[in-house]
């Protein structure tokens, strides 16, 4: 005869007394800004960049790829806020549209690379043994190469173009994220609730995806956010070297190449403004990434 299970119910008021009130998202944002003013500045830069990329067609006045030799190398003016390049193209329009290229490459590379790294890192920690050893070995080999060198090697294998550049930047990010995530996942693996999940007979996929991944999400988010800035810088570097996206696509690194070098003395704005755009974007993402780490890492709050 089955014994009915005893159920214990707690008064709602008692639960409410124990848990502190959860701040609204606006409150949380205010708290974040107060605790991390530099991070907030970075966040604002990131938001402006995303806004520029999303509404590029609305906030610019000229087609960024349209030649206009009548306005060749015009200095900044009311007609051309940031001047024009050697093809007479409006630099402001090219920089705003260039944010699309930078963000597309930056976000896709960082998040795809980070996510693949997350899965590999957690799997490596969970299964351990030979798989861990092999994956760790591969990651160590990949990490032995500086980021730019590995990206250059990838471009020489895949070729130039937007998609290939994304691939070239994504692959070097995988081991970097995998290493960070793996170290967190090793700690999570030893938690009682993981033992409980194993005892319940859950599948490996369920343990990894439902119980381990959510608990290593904070380091993943931090690494990925910081990687966006690095990816933007890498894309600009590859384009500057002629190995990234190609003319006439508006891209900041590409804008620093060719005409910017040839005309740097007589028309410095051709080189200065794309340079500022790259610096601001990387600066913004790095500040924001650092602040996010501080905010999400419980150890930093002690």
Partner 1 sequence: MDMRRWTPSLLALAALAIVPFASSQIEAQTPKRGGILKYVVPGEFPTMDGHRENTFALIHPLAPFYSVLIRVDPDNPNSGTYVCDLCTEMPEPADGGKTYTFKIRKGVKFHDGTGLTAKDVEASFQRIIFPPTGVLSSRVAQFTMVDSVTAPDDETLVFKLKYPSGAFIPALATPYNFIYSKAKLDADQHWYEKNVMGSGPFIFEEWQPGAFVKGKRNPDYYHPGKPYLDGYEAIIAKTQTLRVQAIRGDQAATEFRGIPPKARDDLVAALGKDITVQESDWNCVLILSPNHKAKPFDDPRVRRALSLALDRWQGSKDLSRISIVKAVGGIVFPGHPLAATKEELEQIAGYWPDINKSRAEAKRLLKEAGVPDLKFTLTNRSVDQPYTIVGTWMIDQWKQVGITVEQKVEADGPFYESLKAGKFEVGLEFNCQSVVNPLVDVSKFRPDAGDQYSQIEGKDLVKLHEAMNRTADVAEQRRLMRQYEKLILDEQANNFVTLWWYRIIAHRSYMKGWKITPSHYLNQDLSGVWIDK
Residue 247 near residue 254, CB atoms below 8 Å: yes
From CA 141, how far away is CA 24, in angstroms rounded? Answer: 45
Q: Which residue has the tokens 């403004």?
A: 273
Is 275 among the residues that bind partner 1 (CB under 8 A)?
no
Contact pick of 32, 87, 217, 283 for partner 1 (by CB under 8 A): 87
Choosing from 17, 18, 190, 265, the residue that interacts with partner 1 (CB under 8 A) is: 265
> Does 64 participate in binding partner 1 (rule CB under 8 A)?
no
Taking CB under 8 A as the criterion, the residue among 261, 276, 297, 300 binding partner 1 is: 261
The residue (of 158 and 217) whose beta carbon lies closer to partner 1 is 158
Phi, psi (deg, nearest 5) at residue 19: -85, 135
Nearer to partner 1, 212 or 249 (CB): 249
Q: How far is the CB of 261 from partner 1 (least distance, A)?
A: 4
Q: In the window 24-63, what residues touch partner 1 (CB under 8 A)?
A: none
Q: Is 115 in the site for partner 1 (CB under 8 A)?
A: no
Is 163 a binder of partner 1 (CB under 8 A)? no
Pick from 283, 282, 279, 274: nearest CA to 91? 274
Q: Name the CA dihedral angle for 64, 65, 67, 68, rounded to a multiple of 10 degrees.
A: -10
From the list 50-58, 135-143, 172-180, 243-251, the region that binds partner 1 by CB under 8 A is 243-251
Angle subtended at Cα 266 by Cα 263 and Cα 270, rounded to the nearest 5 degrees: 50
Q: Which stretch binds partner 1 (CB under 8 A): 10-18, 40-48, 227-235, 242-250?
A: 242-250
Which of 86, 145, 202, 218 is in the footprint of partner 1 by CB under 8 A?
86
- Could you give the 3-state DSSP secondary structure of residue 112? helix
Cβ–Cβ under 8 Å, residues 271 and 264: yes
User: With CB under 8 A as the contact rule, which of the stretches 45-53, 67-75, 227-235, 287-295 interacts with partner 1?
Assistant: 67-75
CB of 33 or CB of 241, closer to partner 1: 241
Minimum CB distance to partner 1 smaller for 51 or for 248? 248
CA distances from 188 to 106, 210, 213, 223, 301 (A): 29, 12, 9, 18, 20
Q: Determine whether 65 is exposed, middle or buried from the number of CB atoms within 10 Å of its CB (0-12, 13-18, 19+).
A: middle
If binding is defined by CB under 8 A, does position 160 make contact with partner 1?
yes
Quote the tokens at residue 203. 């599948």
Shortest Cβ 269–partner 1 spacing (Å) = 15
Compute the half-sphere exposure of residue 254: CA atoms within 13 Å on the CB side of its CA.
24
Select the residue interacting with partner 1 from 57, 79, 262, 297 (CB under 8 A).
262
The only residue of 65, 132, 272, 283 in contact with partner 1, by rule CB under 8 A = 65
Q: Is 268 in the site for partner 1 (CB under 8 A)?
A: no
Say how many C-beta atoms besides its own lie within 10 A of residue 21's C-beta: 7
- Is the CB of residue 56 less than 8 Å from the CB of residue 97? yes
Q: Find the binder of partner 1 among 33, 41, 48, 72 (CB under 8 A).
A: 72
Nearest alpha-carbon partner for 118 in 180, 194, 204, 170 = 180
Interface positions with partner 1 (CB under 8 A) = 65-67, 69, 72, 86-87, 159-161, 242, 246-248, 258-259, 261-266
């Amino acid at each position: 005869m089955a014994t009915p299970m005893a159920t214990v119910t707690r008064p709602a008021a008692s639960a409410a007394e124990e848990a502190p009130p959860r701040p609204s998202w606006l409150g949380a944002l205010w708290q974040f800004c107060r605790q991390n003013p530099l991070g907030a500045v970075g966040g604002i830069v990131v938001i402006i960049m995303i806004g520029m990329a999303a509404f590029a067609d609305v906030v610019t006045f000229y087609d960024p790829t349209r030649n206009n030799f009548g306005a060749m190398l015009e200095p900044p003016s009311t007609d051309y806020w940031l001047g024009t390049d050697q093809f007479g193209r409006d630099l402001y329009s090219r920089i705003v549209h260039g944010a699309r290229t930078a963000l597309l490459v930056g976000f896709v590379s960082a998040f795809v690379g980070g996510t693949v790294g997350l899965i590999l890192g957690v799997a490596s920690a969970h299964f351990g043994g030979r798989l861990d050893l092999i994956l760790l070995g591969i990651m160590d080999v990949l990490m032995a190469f500086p980021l730019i060198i590995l990206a250059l090697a990838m471009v020489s294998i895949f070729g130039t173009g937007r998609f290939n550049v994304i691939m070239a930047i994504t692959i070097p990010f995988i081991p970097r994220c995998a290493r960070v995530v793996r170290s967190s996942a090793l700690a999570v693996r030893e938690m009682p609730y993981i033992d409980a999940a194993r005892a319940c007979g859950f599948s490996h996929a369920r343990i990894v995806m439902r119980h381990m991944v959510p608990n290593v999400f904070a380091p993943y988010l931090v690494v990925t956010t910081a990687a966006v800035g690095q990816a933007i810088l890498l894309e600009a570097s590859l384009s500057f070297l002629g190995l990234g996206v190609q003319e006439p696509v508006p891209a900041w690194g590409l804008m620093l190449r060719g005409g910017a070098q040839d005309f740097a003395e007589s028309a410095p704005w051709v080189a200065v403004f794309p340079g500022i755009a790259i610096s601001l974007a990387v600066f913004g993402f790095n500040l924001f990434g650092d602040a996010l780490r501080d905010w999400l890492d419980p150890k930093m709050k002690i």
